[in-house]
Amino acid sequence: MFKGRLLVLEDDPHVAKVIGIIAESCGLEARILMDHRRFFAALEEWNPSHIALDLGWPGRDGEQILTELARRESGARVVIISGSSGRVLDAACAGALHRGLTIIGGLTKPFSTAALRAILSDRAAGAGQSAPGSIQPEPAPVSAATLTPRLALRSCVG
């Protein structure tokens, strides 16, 4: 039985497939999208407990997607993935936290499967969902002060 649902928005099919495999190994049911235009429809119909979001999109900025997630008051736990510098990732995590999103980690590409597994397995195990798609609060508050720059794995939580 799955412990939660991960909605993946990633434009690289190989990276998306790896994320899906890792998510399922961590007890999360994964749905992969490689088209940002269908993301918000899937968000509404599927009600994921977790989101993995690539910041780099042709024609649409990942920051715009994070802003829209915040506007919709998404309670999903978010992992931000970026092929850009660590500074860009740190800024995206801080901005998303400031907007009220629950950021559970950030990864720069290329990332190790162990790094993603660590983020998802810790957070999936703590989700404590009683029904598919239900969202439980994080056990500890999150703040922008917990960003850890210059690491391949950037965890935005304490």
Looking at residue 44, which CATH number applies to its domain? 3.40.50.2300
Domain count, the chain: 1
Q: How far apart are CA 89 and CA 46, in angstroms?
A: 27
Question: Quick check: is 82 in a domain?
Answer: yes
> Averaging pLDDT over each range in 60-69, 97-106, 144-153, which range is the top one?
97-106
Question: Quick check: is 135 in a domain?
Answer: no
Q: What range defines the domain where residue 146 resides?
A: 4-128+141-154
Side chain identity, residue 32: I
Question: Quick check: is 134 in a domain?
Answer: no
Q: How far apart are CA 42 and CA 25, in angstroms?
A: 22
Q: What is the pLDDT of residues 106-156, one digit of tens each?
A: 999 889 899 999 999 865 544 433 232 322 333 333 333 333 333 334 444
Question: Quick check: is 53 in a domain?
Answer: yes
In the prediction, which pLDDT does 140 show? 35
Side chain identity, residue 107: L
Question: Quick check: is 133 in a domain?
Answer: no
In the prediction, which pLDDT does 1 show? 59
- The pTM of the full predicted model, rounded to 2 decimals, is 0.77
For the chain, the C-alpha Rg in angstroms (whole number) is: 14
